[in-house]
Chains A and B, each alone.
Chain A
Amino acid sequence: MEAVKQGSAAIGLRSTSHVVLATVNKTSSELSSHQKKVFKIDDHIGVAIAGLTADGRVLSRYMRNECINHSFVYENPLPVGRLVVRLADKAQVCTQRSWKRPYGVGLLVSGMDELGAHLYYNCPSGNYFEYQAFAIGSRSQAAKTYLERRFESYDKYSGEELIKDALFAIKETLQGEVLTSKVCTVAIVGVGEPFHIVDQKKIQEMIDAMEVTGEAVAEDEQGDDYSTRGATSMES
């Protein structure tokens, strides 16, 4: 659990038609490349991780395996809810055997299935919950506070609007540092849209558009009482 809190931030948001994942790319030094935190599991499922990335990689491989095996036997994509349960059971085993250690990674699992869009959070403890929006990792509380204010309107958001909100939430976790497309990774999955990582250029364009109008409005909002404003007050 501690490992998750110390990993760099990852957030997820969901509407009825799309789910967006966004992560902050922290590099260990200026010379190194950043670690991969977003993994495509199948056309309809993707995960963002926070914590020990090696554990995340191993669990991603497990999930990919499960998806491929299910598709092979049933010729249908694996429903997200079932994948999440298997993942949780796998994590639980490591908490009850003395010779094992828990997986030190929290996973935000985003996916589409027949029942719609889903966002789950899987803990190292083996617990999992479904969320409308969530943030994990270091300084995630800032993002969570931001999301708590706005999540009620997310159901009707389009993919683009969700991405914009995700970028705002990421900005909250950065707390002062400049937001550029190099610092973050954004991925989206939705109705008719297989899971994919959004192009860096597109993200930079959205960030630039944000800077112009967003800053003024964001300052406004923080000045207000904590009443939930509808999405219409923010530029969309």
Chain B
Amino acid sequence: MGSRWSPYDNNGGTCVAIAGANYCVVAADTRMSTGYSILTREYSKTCKLADKCVLASSGFQADVRALQKNLSAKHLFYQHQHNKQMSCPAMGQLLSNTLYYKRFFPYYAFNVLGGLDNEGKGCVFTYDAVGSYERVGYSTQGSGSSLIMPVLDNQLKSPSPLLLPAKDAITPLSESEAVDLVKDVFASATERDIYTGDKVEIVIINDVGIRREYIDLRKD
């Protein structure tokens, strides 16, 4: 009776992504924890998989790291074969397949993939641990997701994917407005979620390229 050894651990953290007309914002906090302790305050949960494609994952960081390495290697193969970078929707499908491949011993990773699609519009894909995914206008995963998602729903009001004719999921907000919104939601989540805090790493992808911002959060 009692606690059995588990191959998994939850290192906490929260990830957010918002798609815009010609940009995409992907953000994650930088705190890595285990149980009630903090392992480090400066761990990056984001990974650039392709020129216009960034993955943010919370959950078990060892699995996350393995997943990132896996996808980067697969991307190299793709580049050798096709002589070009993978598009974000293609990477989205690849991530789904990679996750489902381990359906019976899953990657304990809750992913949010953000980038620009082939037309240069922002796209965000949200996943569960075994690869079920959907393209959305914004999403959040991780320990603070239940605190952040309702705020994004309220501010970004994405049309239902069930509507016909299909409406664009892109938010009308400008890039700087979206970044400000991300800073606000992280500040709010940090207040009540013990696993979120220290710093938030914000990655902004647009036609010019990729840039990063770091904002301090409450460290308690």
Contact = CB atoms under 8 A, between A and B. Distances in A.
Interface residues of B, number: 5
A61 B77 CA distance: 9
Interface residues of A, number: 7
Contacts of A69: 73
A72 B80 contact: no
B73 A71 contact: yes
B81 to A, nearest CB: 9
Contacts of A40: 80
A52 interface: no
Nearest to A71: B73
Contacts of B80: 40, 61, 64
B181 interface: no
Interface in A39-68: 40, 61, 64, 68
Interface string A68-111: 11011000000000000000000000000000000000000000
A52 B73 CA distance: 28
The B interface is mostly helix, strand or loop, or mixed, namely helix
A40 B80 CA distance: 8
A61 B76 CA distance: 12
Interface string A119-143: 0000000000000000000000000
Interface string B49-87: 000000000000000000001000100110010000000
Interface of A is mostly: helix
Contacts of A72: 69, 73
Tell which of B69, B73, B76 has the most Cβ of chain A within 10 Å.
B76
A64 B76 CA distance: 9
A185 B102 CA distance: 44
B77 A68 contact: yes
Contacts of B69: 72
A71 to B, nearest CB: 7
Contacts of A71: 73
A214 B155 CA distance: 69
A191 to B, nearest CB: 22
B105 to A, nearest CB: 19
Contacts of B73: 68-69, 71-72
A61 B69 CA distance: 20
A69 B73 CA distance: 8
Give me the 9 closest cross-chain CB pairs, A-B, nearest first: A72-B73, A68-B73, A64-B80, A68-B76, A72-B69, A68-B77, A71-B73, A61-B80, A64-B77
12 contacts: A40-B80, A61-B80, A64-B76, A64-B77, A64-B80, A68-B73, A68-B76, A68-B77, A69-B73, A71-B73, A72-B69, A72-B73
